[in-house]
Structure 1
């Protein structure tokens, strides 16, 4: 059975129009994820882009990915990612065991990230894995115009605060059978910790794009 990579890349975007097609480092944003998947052929058998956009479809095909035409019905702003993943699995004519989700809005990933994550996923027989990063911030809530600390006490040193983690979106690995049950991250999913600066890039605004461009230049070979 196969391991496939799926890159959901619809055409619409309100905050940053056509963001999946915007050049970042000289190539369209979604191409970074396509190239990353294609660079890991020891793990990934096929690379699919799910899209409702003809321009994105052409870009994906030009850069070596296969394309699944996503119906408009599951291409809206409020439609969850799982809908696109399920549609791909229900469309492809092959038996899939594992799905690697690569979000195009997270274009920067370290070279060995997928290899290291997939080894843990297989070795310990997890049904899903996702990447997380530690938050170094002092977090709290505002209730009745008062700040209420959440993970620390006022005056506590930053290095002593309770460790909290956030889902950074870099990488997800899930059994295909779970996705067909509307699950990407299971209750027993392994949280793979990534504290590289790339984990802070999730493109939704022009400032995010500019930051990605800066990092690409900084870390280029």
Structure 2
């Protein structure tokens, strides 16, 4: 049964115009995820880009991905990612068992992450897996103009915090059957820990893009 990568990359973006094709390290943002998938072809059968944009489509094809034209009806700002994944599966006539979601806005990933995560996913016989990173910050709420700590007590050292984790968006792996039920992460999904500086890169603003460029140059990816 096949394992495919799907990279959703619609054309509309608000904070950074044409975000998915902005340049990072001399390549369009989208291309980093395409190339990352292609070098793992020992267990990935195909790489698909789902887009509603002609320029993105052209770039994706140039760099070796297959393209599924996404209808405008599922390309809006508030449309959930799973709808794009489901549309890809419904558009291809192939026996896909596992889907790997790579987001174009998370372009920097540790080299061996995908291989290690996929091996964990298979060995554990999980129905889905997603990457998480431990948080080391002190969070709280402001209620009636007063700060109320959430994950610590005033005076507590950061290193003594109870471990909390955040969903970092680096990658997701899930059964195709789950996606067809409009799910990416199941209740039994395995949280794969990634404690790497790349986990803090999620491009939404120009400043995020500048930070990603700095890390790209620093690590000479």
Give the aligned partner of residue 4 of structure 2. 4
What is the 5 A alignment of 1:133-148?
133-148=133-148
Give the aligned partner of residue 28 of structure 1. 28
5+ residue gaps, structure 2: none
Q: Distance in 2 between matches of 1:120 and 1:49?
A: 25
SS in 1 for 2:77: coil
What is the 5 A alignment of 1:201-212?
201-212=201-212
Give the aligned partner of residue 83 of structure 1. 83
SS in 2 for 1:114: helix
SS in 2 for 1:186: coil
Pair 1:13 & 2:13 matched: yes
Q: Distance in 2 between matches of 1:124 and 1:131?
A: 15
SS in 1 for 2:173: strand
Give the aligned partner of residue 187 of structure 1. 187
What is the 5 A alignment of 1:94-113?
94-113=94-113
Tell me how far 1:87 sits from its aligned partner.
0.1
What is the 5 A alignment of 1:96-175?
96-175=96-175
Aligned length: 221
SS in 1 for 2:109: coil
* 1:87-136 Cα shifts (integer Å, max 9, x gaps): 00000111100000000000000110011101110001000000000110
Q: Distance in 1 between matches of 2:118 and 2:22?
A: 30
Give the aligned partner of residue 215 of structure 1. 215
Q: Distance in 2 between matches of 1:208 and 1:49?
A: 23
* 1:180-200 Cα shifts (integer Å, max 9, x gaps): 001100000000000100000
Tell me how far 1:162 sits from its aligned partner.
1.2
* 1:18-56 Cα shifts (integer Å, max 9, x gaps): 000111100000000000000100111000000000000
Q: TM (normalized to structure 1)?
A: 0.99
Give the aligned partner of residue 176 of structure 2. 176
Q: TM (normalized to structure 2)?
A: 0.99
Tell me how far 1:163 sits from its aligned partner.
1.1
Tell me how far 1:174 sits from its aligned partner.
0.2
Give the aligned partner of residue 198 of structure 2. 198
Give the aligned partner of residue 49 of structure 2. 49
Tell me how far 1:151 sits from its aligned partner.
0.5
SS in 1 for 2:165: strand
Q: Distance in 2 between matches of 1:44 and 1:202?
A: 24
State the superposition RMSD in angstroms.
0.6
Tell me how far 1:216 sits from its aligned partner.
0.5
SS in 1 for 2:183: coil
